[in-house]
């Protein structure tokens, strides 16, 4: 039995398919349909035999046939090419991995080149010679539209690969690291046909990409330098994929459309001396959007267009402005808050995309464990008291407060809020936006709200003594108050309020609970895979020893669903501190945050990081995510001096 598709060369690169095993890289023929991963070296494996097992067995028979790349590890390739000895490979790999884990994004081979005292170009040229592959001068290439379309913009930019030409139906692709399995998978997914690799440096590929790809590359191509740009705002603000409006209008629409499609929450237009950068925030992380180099020329026109759309004064360029745009995209109402700030290189513009109507704020969506959920439901129906949510900007505090309000919203309760800004409109709730320009601050608004006889008040943020005092007075006079505070952890909230100048007994008697929170990205469900982690590392980062054996650590390997990021969506991690009779006397006596933290842990409070570990254990998120959002926030742990393990 032979696999029919192998004959036609399914997803075959340079004559052979590809696979990886741990750090090593192998040639293996991958049969796409109908028996994915069953053909190795032209042989059909038995039934469900995993090719990786096959490769594992082949490991015993060390690398051979470097020319055709069959079953050669990266290490042996580099060794044979005279680019790295075995020892060098091991130590360079180690160093590179450490840097990569710390967030350094230097490509692996570029790093190796540097370690070997070579330029990336020299290194890749020698590698190309050893492999018998071409080294491509991407600046000399002319890439036709037909060729360009074989690889999506996303794949091209994410992995820095450039389709260079088609020869006998085989796509030639310039890449700087042919050993990247995620890149191979993405390329194969895009072009669904045989591919032949050539090497080029990342820098050169990126230059070419800017020329041939990029958001609005074609749109900008169409814009002649002399063309007068019509900035009339049309009444119809519907944005569709093929909006017929020309030039700048089309470009801006395209940027908003792309952002919407990628579930971005923010778009930033950031000018610099010789460039204009556009970045999207997706699941809390900024992603730079590829743009053609001529974008800078249209900076003024683009900014003007956005200002017109959002009802700002286009003549005013020296002062910050706020505005909003309401658009409909595919029938969905999008409310866009726009703000401009003058920088030395022109106005920087930020757009915040808020989906209207469809938002449902439910407690069950926030990622609470059953015990937390029960405690919170009890807290938010109390007749009075203060419930604070703490965390840095972007930790989802407002969403949590909205969920609280939505849960208790009823005709028998009068709920009023003062916010900066009102992010979502909640039906049946009186929401007041802060307007410092006309003197309507949190404190002033709050004072007036109290005269309006509310039952429940939400104050966007307590950031000064005056607001804190009024909030406390409100809670002591029979109002339930929700608010946020900028502290890293829950126990520090008490000291923060006392430091602001509030009497400790007032803090102790008014606060009912403090919850610190962060958002972690959740692993993409479509590409989540087990991902073993070394025990030493786990112990070093404080993962509970008793849970290591029973935990299957997971990771998203990247797929089309998640833009190859491995993550999709976010969930909360929480540190819920209930102000019980054990805590109140400590607050009253100005106890240190560490003492309060210890008492809270005695009553089963989980720290942010511990809560994060639990979400790692159930496969929702990764260790890296938990570390990322809690890296500077180990306060509780450090305060109480050492790792006490998980308090279950």
- Give the residues lining the site for Zn ion (CB under 5 A): 524, 526-527, 556, 559, 561-562
DSSP assignment of 51-110: HHHHHHHHHTS----TTTTTT--HHHHHHHTTS--HHHHHHHHHHHHHHHHTT----HHH
Considering beta carbons, is residue 51 or 566 the nearer one to Zn ion? 566
Considering beta carbons, is residue 203 or 569 the nearer one to Zn ion? 569
Considering beta carbons, is residue 89 or 280 the nearer one to Zn ion? 280
Phi first, then psi: what are they for 585, rounded to 5°?
Answer: -60, -35
Among 223, 298, 306, 200, CA closest to 259: 306
- For residue 204, CA distances in Å to 1, 106, 120, 128, 207 come to 45, 15, 11, 16, 5
Q: How far is the CB of 528 from Zn ion (least distance, A)?
A: 8
Q: Looking at the chain, how many residues does it have?
A: 648
Q: How far apart are CA 389 and CA 587, in angstroms?
A: 18
Beta bridge partners of 337: 324, 352
Considering beta carbons, is residue 264 or 527 the nearer one to Zn ion? 527
How far, rounded to the nearest angstrom, does the alpha carbon of residue 27 sit from its chain's CA centroid? Answer: 32
Considering beta carbons, is residue 154 or 447 the nearer one to Zn ion? 154
Are 457 and 446 spatial neighbours (Cβ–Cβ below 8 Å)? yes
Q: How far is the CB of 364 from Zn ion (least distance, A)?
A: 24
Question: What kind and span of H or E run contains 280?
Answer: strand 276-282
Considering beta carbons, is residue 355 or 526 the nearer one to Zn ion? 526
Q: How far is the CB of 590 from Zn ion (least distance, A)?
A: 50
Question: What kind and span of H or E run contains 338?
Answer: strand 332-343
Instruction: Answer left, alpha or beta for residue 414, where phi above 0 means left and psi between -120 and 50 means alpha.
Output: beta
Among 366, 407, 416, CA closest to 520: 366
Q: How far apart are CA 147 and CA 120, in angstroms?
A: 26
Q: How far is the CB of 524 from Zn ion (least distance, A)?
A: 3
Q: How far is the CB of 567 from Zn ion (least distance, A)?
A: 8
Q: How far is the CB of 178 from Zn ion (least distance, A)?
A: 22
Contacts of 573 (CB under 8 A, 6+ apart): 367, 517, 518, 519, 520, 608, 611, 612, 615, 626, 629, 630
CA atoms lying within 13 Å on the CB side of residue 600: 31
Burial of 105-124, coded b for 16+ CB within 10 Å and e otherwise, reads eebbbbbbbebbeeebbebb
CA atoms lying within 13 Å on the CB side of residue 66: 17
Considering beta carbons, is residue 468 or 559 the nearer one to Zn ion? 559
Q: How far apart are CA 274 and CA 295, in angstroms?
A: 10
Beta bridge partners of 385: 480
Q: How far is the CB of 564 from Zn ion (least distance, A)?
A: 7
Helices (H) and strands (E) in the chain, counts: 26, 22
Residue nearest to Zn ion (CB): 524
Q: How far is the CB of 189 from Zn ion (least distance, A)?
A: 12
Q: How far is the CB of 559 from Zn ion (least distance, A)?
A: 3
Q: How far is the CB of 183 from Zn ion (least distance, A)?
A: 15
Considering beta carbons, is residue 151 or 559 the nearer one to Zn ion? 559
Residue 630, token pair as written in the block? 């809690």
Residue 151, token pair as written in the block? 């690889």
Beta bridge partners of 339: 322, 350
Considering beta carbons, is residue 284 or 556 the nearer one to Zn ion? 556
Considering beta carbons, is residue 502 or 524 the nearer one to Zn ion? 524
Q: How far is the CB of 180 from Zn ion (least distance, A)?
A: 16
Are 16 and 26 spatial neighbours (Cβ–Cβ below 8 Å)? no
- Indicate the angle between helix axes 593-602 and 492-500, nearest 10 degrees: 140
Considering beta carbons, is residue 181 or 421 the nearer one to Zn ion? 181
Considering beta carbons, is residue 41 or 560 the nearer one to Zn ion? 560
Q: How far is the CB of 555 from Zn ion (least distance, A)?
A: 10
Considering beta carbons, is residue 556 or 572 the nearer one to Zn ion? 556
Q: Find tokens 């307590």 and name the residue.
A: 462
Q: How far is the CB of 186 from Zn ion (least distance, A)?
A: 11
Among 174, 172, 148, 145, CA closest to 161: 174
């Amino acid at each position: 039995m032979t696999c029919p598709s192998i004959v036609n060369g399914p997803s075959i690169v340079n004559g052979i398919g590809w696979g990886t095993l741990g750090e090593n890289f192998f040639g293996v023929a991958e049969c796409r349909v109908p028996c994915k991963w069953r053909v190795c070296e032209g042989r059909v494996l038995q039934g469900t035999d995993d090719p990786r097992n096959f490769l594992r067995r082949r490991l015993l028979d060390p690398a051979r046939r470097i020319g055709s790349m069959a079953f050669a590890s990266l290490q042996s390739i580099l060794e044979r090419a005279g680019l790295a000895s075995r020892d060098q490979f091991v130590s360079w790999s180690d160093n590179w991995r450490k840097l990569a884990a710390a967030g350094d994004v230097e490509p692996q081979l570029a790093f190796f080149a540097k370690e070997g005292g070579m330029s990336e170009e020299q290194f890749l040229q020698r590698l190309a010679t050893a492999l018998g592959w071409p080294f491509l001068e991407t600046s000399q290439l002319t890439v036709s539209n037909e060729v360009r379309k074989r690889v999506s913009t996303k794949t091209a930019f994410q992995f820095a690969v450039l389709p260079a030409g088609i020869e006998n139906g085989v796509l030639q692709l310039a890449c700087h690291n042919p050993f990247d399995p995620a890149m191979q998978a993405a390329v194969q997914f895009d072009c669904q046909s045989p591919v032949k690799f050539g090497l080029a440096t990342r820098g050169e590929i990126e230059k070419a990409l800017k020329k041939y790809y990029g958001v609005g590359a074609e749109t900008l191509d169409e814009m002649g330098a002399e063309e007068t740009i019509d900035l009339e705002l049309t009444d119809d603000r519907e944005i569709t994929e093929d909006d017929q409006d020309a030039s700048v209008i089309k470009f801006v629409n395209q940027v908003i459309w792309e952002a919407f499609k990628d579930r971005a929450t923010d778009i930033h237009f950031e000018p610099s001396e010789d460039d204009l950068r556009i970045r999207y925030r997706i699941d809390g992380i900024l992603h730079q959007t590829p743009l053609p180099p001529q974008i800078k020329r249209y900076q003024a026109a683009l900014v003007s267009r956005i200002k017109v759309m959002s009802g700002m004064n286009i003549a005013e360029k020296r002062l910050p402005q706020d505005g909003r745009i309401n658009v409909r995209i595919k029938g969905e109402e999008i409310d866009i808050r726009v703000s401009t700030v003058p920088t030395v290189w022109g106005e920087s513009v930020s757009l915040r995309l808020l989906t209207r109507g469809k938002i449902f704020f439910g407690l069950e969506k926030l990622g609470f464990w059953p015990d937390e959920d029960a405690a919170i439901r009890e807290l938010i129906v109390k007749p009075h008291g203060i419930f604070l949510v703490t965390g840095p900007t972007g930790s989802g505090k407002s969403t949590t407060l909205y969920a609280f309000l939505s849960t208790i919203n009823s005709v028998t309760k009068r709920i009023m809020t003062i916010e900066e800004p009102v992010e979502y409109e909640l039906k049946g709730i009186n929401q007041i936006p802060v307007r410092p320009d006309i003197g309507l601050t949190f404190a002033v608004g709050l004072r007036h709200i109290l005269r309006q006889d509310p039952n429940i008040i939400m104050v966007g943020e307590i950031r000064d003594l005056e607001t804190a005092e009024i909030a406390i007075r409100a809670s002591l006079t029979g109002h339930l108050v929700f608010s946020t505070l900028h502290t890293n952890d829950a126990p520090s909230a008490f000291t923060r309020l006392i430091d602001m100048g509030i009497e400790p007994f007032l803090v102790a008697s008014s606060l009912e609970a403090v919850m610190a929170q962060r958002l972690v990205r959740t692993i993409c469900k479509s590409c989540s895979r087990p991902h073993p982690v070394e025990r030493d590392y786990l112990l070093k980062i404080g993962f509970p020893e008793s849970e290591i054996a029973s935990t299957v650590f997971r990771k998203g390997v990247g797929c089309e669903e998640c833009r190859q990021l491995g993550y999709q969506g976010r969930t909360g991690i929480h540190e819920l501190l209930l102000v019980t009779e054990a805590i109140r006397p400590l607050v009253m006596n100005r106890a240190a945050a560490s003492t309060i933290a210890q008492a809270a842990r005695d009553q089963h409070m989980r720290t942010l990081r511990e809560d994060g570990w639990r979400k790692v254990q159930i496969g929702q998120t990764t260790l890296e995510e938990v570390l990322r959002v809690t890296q500077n926030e180990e306060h509780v742990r450090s305060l109480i001096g050492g790792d006490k393990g998980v308090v279950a």
